[in-house]
Structures are given as structure tokens and as C-alpha cells.
A = this chain, B = another copy of it.
């Protein structure tokens, strides 16, 4: 059951008692504490309080980050969503989503799922100018954390050469979740020197050729894709590059049995629509087909060989932290998420930071491959 403290807040927000009880019974809430700050996390949506919402107090409410809609046919998608109106095109970066917010004089980084991330929170002043929150305590900086040394992903964008960086892409109000306009956001980012995702400019359906060329260039540069936004932020849609679809499959296929089928099938679908829209044929088509086949099979087959040789399916993550304690807090966080993850190595860097190496073992995927390799006969 939700404690009286949060229950009062929910009631004031207009969530009725019955709804609170139903959500509690389904395990839709979790109450937690981070360095003395208590918070209620929403695992499911309740009315406008989206999954990932975090409630600290009556005034400190961080709504769950909204799902961005996707189009798979760029030209028709742009036409349908924006008509003839202009829209900003910004880079979609492959990282993890954080909402950075000030609560009780502490600056916290909240993950998409509504957890306070011990790693991102500890490092936050390395990534952004926190003076921003002195002037705007009521705003939330929404951004992507991306780089080769990330606690959640094994890869980052090609231009982040080491460690990890923050890239702003939205500023929202506490409680309402209302976004500032693109222009307001860009102005604040510049004023405070907050790193921002690359803005490719303003486009409209008339520049569809240039937009296609931009996607081509991003694909060549091994970048994920674009997010298109009406200046008032009321319409936001994403479109990913063919590079990203194939690369995601390559990263995922080593973990074939740990991922839902949809992970792979959605990306195959997006690639197929890209090939159809661009009317790609002949040799170029075959190149894409081969790249897809290799992405699906090569890491997967290698993982089968590894298990056949007695190894486990595992991934290694590296992060840099200020205090070793933060690494242990990350382990607790991962354990709470049900992951089998542990610290492999701790190394002191000469700037006083520590480099921590984590190893995540995929037990179910390992077991599944082992069983099948050992000749298990099954009904499918």
C-alpha cells in the first residue's frame, strides 16, 4: 500500500482512492529513498501520470517521459504529421533517457523507468551547468546520456570518444510535464552552456529531398536518426536511419534469447520500409540484405559457439565514477532490476576518478542455448 504521505498527494492530484488501491494491488507503485529523499515511482500509468512518473512532494512531480511516435515512411509521415508547416529536425541519439531535476537542493537524474540513477546523479555536474537550476528550479532537463562508457548500453554515438556525455533535447515543467518551445529551449541551452543534441535546422515537406539526404549522411556517420518537432513541441515524431536498424540487430543478436522477438522484427520492418521508400534495388539492395543477415546470424552463431565451449553469454560495461560507493549503489540498482551483474574491476584514474568494469551475465539466454546445443528436443 502507498504510505499516507504519497496517498495525500495522489488524492490532491485527483486520483481517487479506489484507483490508488487498484494500482497498489497490481504493484503499480514503488516507494523508495535516495540519499534521504523519499519518492514514489509509477510502474504503470494512472490518468495523466505516465509510467515512469516520480512524485517527491506536492510540487516536485516529474511526469514520465512521453513516448515519441515513430514514422517508417518519411515523406508521407512528414506530410501527414506536419502538413505544410515547418518543423525542427534534431538528432536522435542512441543512449539512455534521463530527466534531470532539482529536489530539496539536490540535483537528481531520473531514468525512463522512474529510478534515480546513482551513477548519472553522482556525475551530473560533470555533464551540465547546474547553475541552471538556481534560476529555474521548476524545470526539468530531459536529455540522452550517450557514450562508450555507459552503465546501460554497450555502444554510443561515434563522436563521443570516451566516457559519456549529456545531450539536452527537451525542457519540461514539473507537475504539468509541459515542454518549452524549441526556441526557448535552445536559448536556455546556449545561455547556460548545456550540451544539446545537434539541431539540423528547420525543414518542411518541401525540403523532403534534403531530409532524405540528411538521413543518408547520418547513416554513413553511424548515427541513429532524427526527431522532428513542431516549434511549439506539440508534434514530435522520430525516424531512424537504416544503419541504426541493422546495428541494433547486430548488438541484439548476441542476446537472441534475452530479447523479445519484436526487438528484431520491428527493426526488420523499419528497414524494409526504408528500402521500399527509397526504391533501393539490385546490388545496393543485396548489400543491405547481406548486412541484415550477418547482423542476425554472426553474433548469434558466435554466442552459440561460446556456450558450446562452456562460456556464458555476457556483456561488459565500463563507467567512471567519483566515489567507489557509487559503483556499489549501481550494483544494488541493477539487482533491483533483476539483473545478474557484478563488478569485475576497479581502477583508480589519475584525475581522482575510478574506472569500474561491470559484467552482466544473461543467465536465461545462456541456459536456453546450452539446452538446445545439448540436443534438447522440444515442441514449438
A residues touching B (Cβ–Cβ < 8 Å)?
67-73, 75-81, 237, 256, 261-262, 264-266, 268-269, 271-273, 275-276, 285-286, 288-294, 296-298, 300-301, 304-305, 308, 372-380
Residues of B within 8 Å of A265, CB to CB, are 261, 264-265
Whole-angstrom CA separation of A300 from B275 in the bound complex:
10
Whole-angstrom CA separation of A272 from B77 in the bound complex:
36
A76 touches B375 (CB 8 A): yes
What are 9 A-B interface contacts by the 8 Å CB criterion?
A: A69-B379, A71-B377, A73-B372, A76-B374, A77-B376, A80-B375, A80-B376, A276-B304, A285-B298
Shortest 9 CB-CB contacts between residues of A and residues of B: A76-B375, A289-B293, A293-B293, A261-B261, A77-B375, A80-B375, A276-B304, A69-B377, A292-B293
Contact of A276 among B76, B308, B380 (CB under 8 A): B308
Contact of A275 among B71, B78, B301, B374 (CB under 8 A): B301
Residues of B within 8 Å of A289, CB to CB, are 290, 293-294, 296-298
Known: A79-B375, A296-B268, A380-B70. A305 touches B291 (CB 8 A): no
Residues of B within 8 Å of A380, CB to CB, are 70, 262, 266
Whole-angstrom CA separation of A114 from B361 in the bound complex:
45
Residues of B within 8 Å of A290, CB to CB, are 286, 289-290, 293
Whole-angstrom CA separation of A304 from B79 in the bound complex:
19
Contact of A273 among B264, B294, B373 (CB under 8 A): B373
Residues of B within 8 Å of A305, CB to CB, are 276
Known: A289-B298, A301-B275, A304-B273. A73 touches B374 (CB 8 A): yes
Contact of A378 among B70, B301, B378 (CB under 8 A): B70
Whole-angstrom CA separation of A225 from B31 in the bound complex:
55
Residues of B within 8 Å of A273, CB to CB, are 304, 372-373
Whole-angstrom CA separation of A292 from B273 in the bound complex:
18
Tell me the minimal C-beta distance from A259 to chain B in angstroms: 10
Contact of A268 among B262, B269, B297 (CB under 8 A): B297
Interface-centre pick from A72, A73, A377, A380 (highest chain B CB count, 10 A) = A377
Residues of B within 8 Å of A272, CB to CB, are 256, 296-297, 300-301, 304
Q: Chain B: which residue is nearest A276 at the CB level?
A: B304
A80 touches B261 (CB 8 A): no
Whole-angstrom CA separation of A70 from B265 in the bound complex:
23
B237 touches A377 (CB 8 A): yes
Interface-centre pick from A75, A81, A237, A372 (highest chain B CB count, 10 A) = A372
Known: A69-B379, A81-B377, A379-B69. A256 touches B269 (CB 8 A): yes
Whole-angstrom CA separation of A79 from B269 in the bound complex:
39
Residues of B within 8 Å of A298, CB to CB, are 285, 289
Residues of B within 8 Å of A308, CB to CB, are 276
Interface-centre pick from A266, A296, A298 (highest chain B CB count, 10 A) = A296
